[in-house]
Amino acid sequence: MHRGGGGGGGRLRRGGGGSHVQFEALLLCAFFNKVTFSAYVKLLRSPQIALPFNEACYKWHCFLMQQ
């Protein structure tokens, strides 16, 4: 069920000490994308929706990184 294990999660770390926050953000995005996967597949066919969706996920990730 899980695609690709959790190995190498801290590779993108920027600055010090934020690794577990980044990991939570990545988990949240992965979980969110998984929960909405069937809807997400439909969204991918309409880029005007899919692109803001990805951007929102990325911004949320960056927001958590700054905490």
Question: What are 40-62's pLDDT values in tens digits?
Answer: 666 666 667 667 777 777 788 77
| Mean pLDDT, residues 24-34 | 72
What type of residue is 53? Answer: F
Structure tokens that stand for 37 in this block: 């996967």
Tell me how far apart the alpha carbons of residues 57 and 32 are, in angstroms, rounded to a whole number.
9
- Tell which wins on pLDDT, 4 or 22: 22
Confidence of residue 8 (pLDDT cuts 50, 70, 90): very low
**Alpha carbon separation from 26 to 20, 33, 34, 47, 58 (Å, rounded):** 10, 10, 12, 22, 9
- Total-model pTM: 0.30
- Tell which wins on pLDDT, 30 or 17: 30
Tell me how far apart the alpha carbons of residues 48 and 56 are, in angstroms, rounded to a whole number.
13
For the chain, first and last CA: distance in Å?
31
